[in-house]
Amino acid sequence: MRTGDQVVQDLPWRWSVQGKIFLIGGLGYMFDAWDVALNGFLTPLVGTEFGLSPGQKGLVATANLIGMAVGAVAWGTVADRIGRKRAFSITLLLFALFSAVGALSPNLEIFLLLRFLAGVGLGGCIPVDYAIVSEFSPRRQRGRVLSAMDGWWPVGTTLAGVSATLLVPVDGNWRWMLVLMILPAVLLIWVRRGVPESPLYLVRKGREDEARAVIDDLVRRTGAKPEPYVIPAAVAEDTRGGALAAAFDQLRRVWAFNPRITAVSWTLFTSVMLVYYAALSWMPSILKAEGFGEIAAFASTALMNAVGIVGVVLAVLVVDRVGRKRVIATAGPAMAVLLVVFSLLLGTPSWAVVAIGAFGLFALTVIPVMYAYVSELYPTELRASGFGWASSSSRAVTGFAPLLFGSVLWPVLGLPLTFTVLGVLVVAAVVFMMVAAPETRGRELDRITDPGSASTDVKTPAAPDASVH
State yes or no: pLDDT of 116 exceeds 50: yes
pLDDT per residue over 324-372, tens digit each?
999 999 999 999 999 999 999 998 989 999 999 999 999 999 998 998 8
Q: What is the pLDDT of residue 453?
A: 38
**pLDDT value for 460:** 37
H runs (alpha helix) in 150-258: 152-167, 173-191, 199-204, 208-222, 243-257
Residue 142 has pLDDT above 60, yes or no: yes
Q: What share of the chain is helix, strand, coil (3-state, %, to 5)?
A: 75, 0, 20
Q: Does 38 have pLDDT greater than 70?
A: yes
The predicted structure's pLDDT at residue 152: 86
For residue 454, pLDDT over 70 is answered with: no
User: In this structure, are residues 60 and 112 in contact, taking their beta carbons and an 8 Å threshold?
Assistant: yes
% residues pLDDT > 70 (the chain): 91
| Residues 6 or more apart in contact with residue 324 via CB below 8 angstroms | 143, 369, 370, 372, 373, 376, 439, 440, 441
Helix axes 243-257, 380-404, angle to 10 degrees: 100
Q: For the segment 43-77, what is each residue's pLDDT rounded down to a tens digit?
A: 889 988 998 887 788 888 888 888 887 887 777 67
- What average pLDDT score do residues 178-197 get? 78
Catalogue the long-range contacts made by 211-218 (C-beta closer than 8 Å, 24 or more residues apart): 211/4, 212/4, 215/4, 215/7, 215/8, 218/8, 218/11, 218/17, 218/136
pLDDT at 406 over 60: yes
Closest CA to 61 of 308, 449, 468, 406: 406
The string of DSSP letters for 111-135 reads: HHHHHHHHHHHHHTHHHHHHHHHHH
Residue 7: pLDDT over 80:
yes
pLDDT at 30: 83
pLDDT tier, 451 (very low <50, low <70, confident <90, very high otherwise): very low
The closest of 422, 378, 386, 390 to 272, measured between CA atoms, is 422
Report the pLDDT value the prediction gives residue 241, as an integer from 0 to 100. Answer: 54
Most confident of 29-38, 81-90, 313-322, 359-368: 359-368
Q: Judge whether residue 39 has pLDDT over 60.
A: yes
Cα dihedral 151, 194, 80, 245, rounded to 10, equals: 110
Give residue 325's identity as a one-letter amino acid code. K
Q: Domains in the chain, ordered, with CATH?
A: 4-233+241-436 (1.20.1250.20)
Give the residue among 359, 400, 334, 322 at the shortest CA–CA distance from 67.
400
- How far apart, in whole angstroms, are the C-alpha atoms of residue 360 and residue 31? 18
14: region left, alpha or beta (phi > 0 left; psi from -120 to 50 alpha): beta
- Which segment, 149-153, 236-240, 371-375, is predicted with the most confidence on average? 371-375
Give the burial class of 289: count Cβ atoms within 10 A of its Cβ; 0-12 exposed, 13-18 middle, 19 or more buried: middle
Q: Which of 123-132, 177-186, 297-306, 406-415 has the lowest mean pLDDT?
A: 123-132
Q: For the segment 219-271, what is each residue's pLDDT rounded down to a tens digit?
A: 999 999 999 998 887 766 555 555 566 667 778 888 988 899 999 999 999 99
Closest C-alpha to 367, from 117, 60, 151, 101: 151
Rounded distance, CA 253 to CA 370, Å?
Answer: 21
Q: Is the pTM here over 0.75, yes or no?
A: no
Across 195-199, 254-258, 372-376, the highest mean pLDDT is recorded for 254-258
DSSP bridge partners of 3: 230
What crossing angle do the helices spanning 380-404 and 54-82 adopt, rounded to 10°? 170
- Give the confidence band of 459 by pLDDT, cuts at 50, 70, 90: very low
| pLDDT average, residue stretch 77-95 | 78
What CA–CA distances, in Å, run from 441 to 26, 220, 325, 450, 463? 21, 27, 9, 12, 28
